[in-house]
Amino acid sequence: MQVSKSDESERHARVSRMVVIATRVFGSHEKALGWLEKSQSRFGGKTPISLLSGKSGVRIVEEALIQIDEGYFA
């Protein structure tokens, strides 16, 4: 299955958006990337960045970031 340039552009936009949100939550770009690239038990051992290929994954990652920002998860 080939990935179209449009699909690739959309994924890039989703990843960029999550990096911005994660940077705001964690206070630094480096910490944000570290979290996005580290496997997380709440995602079944997957990395948050791996979930960003689809809209449902984006919602899951965004919700986790909101919960972290609000103090629900350390």
* Nearest-5° Cα angle at 72, 44 to 70: 125
Examine the pLDDT at 5 and tell me if it is beyond 80.
no
62 touches 49 (CB < 8 A): no
49 touches 36 (CB < 8 A): yes
Establish if 74 belongs to a structural domain: no
Give pLDDT tens digits for 23-65. Answer: 999 999 999 999 999 999 999 999 999 999 888 999 999 999 9
pTM score of the predicted model: 0.83
Separation between Cα atoms, residue 56 and residue 53, nearest integer Å: 9
Separation between Cα atoms, residue 10 and residue 3, nearest integer Å: 11
pLDDT number for residue 1: 54
Establish if 25 belongs to a structural domain: yes
Establish if 35 belongs to a structural domain: yes
32: left (phi over 0), alpha (psi -120 to 50) or beta: alpha
Establish if 49 belongs to a structural domain: yes
- Tell me which residue range forms the domain holding 21: 5-69
Establish if 55 belongs to a structural domain: yes
Residue 11 pLDDT class (50, 70, 90 cuts): confident
Establish if 44 belongs to a structural domain: yes
Q: How many domains does the chain have?
A: 1
